[in-house]
């Protein structure tokens, strides 16, 4: 039994696992006749299976869970990045792990980030992560991933021992 303490989601801390998606605060309005600021290619979108594999923009409603939370499994999408873009949410959990040299989760490197309204994330292709966990309230989100319906869409690994996420 191991306890993982939550940490705040920042772009720097999350960089090994993907990108934090946030609208730009700074800079001159550079589009729409001076009414908007745009940051292009904010997510490293990846699809290694070519045009036979279509992008899937799915809409998800996720029911809230409570901390402390016992983790269940990690999953990864070996051929696709995966973006989560919340339209409505309170806080949500982003649990990730680095990969070992043989491509399995490095359990010692597990991290539990807490994100919230105004923040999305994009998992880099092949990044091990826990299924989405809404906290406090139901979350409504868009999800962007390239899928073709085969087993290569998603790989899952059960946790080898009990890990519980607790508030920092």
Choose the binding region for a copy of itself from 1-9, 90-98, 119-127, 158-166 (rule: CB under 8 A). Answer: 119-127
- In the complex with a copy of itself, the residue whose CB is nearer, 48 or 100, is 48
Size of the site for a copy of itself (CB under 8 A): 52
Rounded-to-integer distance, Cα 109 and Cα 41, Å: 28
Question: Does residue 68 interact with a copy of itself by CB under 8 A?
Answer: no
Question: Does residue 164 interact with a copy of itself by CB under 8 A?
Answer: no
Q: Are 81 and 154 in contact (CB under 8 A)?
A: no
Q: How many CB atoms lie within 10 A of CB 1?
A: 7
Q: What is the contact mask toward a copy of itself in residues 19 to 58, using x (rule: CB under 8 A)?
A: --xxxxx---x-xxx-xxxxxxxxx-x----xx--xxxxx
Question: Alpha carbon of 136 to those of 88, 94, 116, 117: distances in Å?
Answer: 12, 14, 11, 12
- In the complex with a copy of itself, the residue whose CB is nearer, 8 or 31, is 31
Applying CB under 8 A, among 133, 135, 163, 165 the residue interacting with a copy of itself is 133
Applying CB under 8 A, among 143, 148, 152, 157 the residue interacting with a copy of itself is 143
3-class state of residue 52 by DSSP: helix
Question: Does residue 70 interact with a copy of itself by CB under 8 A?
Answer: no
- In the complex with a copy of itself, the residue whose CB is nearer, 5 or 88, is 88
Q: Are 28 and 133 in contact (CB under 8 A)?
A: no
- Both tokens of 108, joined, read 């010692």
Strands 92-97 and 133-135: antiparallel
Rounded-to-integer distance, Cα 2 and Cα 148, Å: 36
Rounded-to-integer distance, Cα 3 and Cα 25, Å: 35
What's the closest the beta carbon of residue 103 comes to a copy of itself, in angstroms?
23
Residues binding a copy of itself (CB under 8 A): 21-25, 29, 31-33, 35-43, 45, 50-51, 54-63, 65, 72, 83, 85-88, 117-120, 122, 131-134, 140-144
């Amino acid at each position: 039994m191991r306890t993982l303490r939550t940490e705040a989601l920042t772009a720097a801390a999350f960089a090994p696992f993907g990108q934090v998606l946030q609208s730009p605060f700074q800079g001159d309005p550079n589009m729409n006749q001076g009414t908007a600021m745009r940051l292009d290619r904010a997510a490293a979108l990846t699809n290694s299976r070519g045009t036979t594999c279509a992008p899937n923009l799915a809409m998800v409603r996720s029911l809230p869970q409570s901390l402390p939370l016992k983790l269940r499994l990690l999953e990864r999408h070996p051929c696709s990045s995966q973006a989560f873009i919340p339209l409505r949410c309170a806080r949500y959990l982003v649990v990730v792990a680095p990969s070992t040299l043989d491509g399995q989760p490095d359990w010692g490197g597990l991290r539990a980030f807490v994100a919230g309204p105004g923040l999305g994330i994009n998992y880099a292709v092949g990044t091990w992560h826990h299924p989405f966990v809404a906290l406090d309230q139901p979350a409504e989100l868009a999800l962007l991933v390239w899928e073709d319906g085969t087993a290569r869409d998603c790989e899952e690994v059960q946790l080898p021992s009990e890990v519980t996420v607790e508030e920092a």
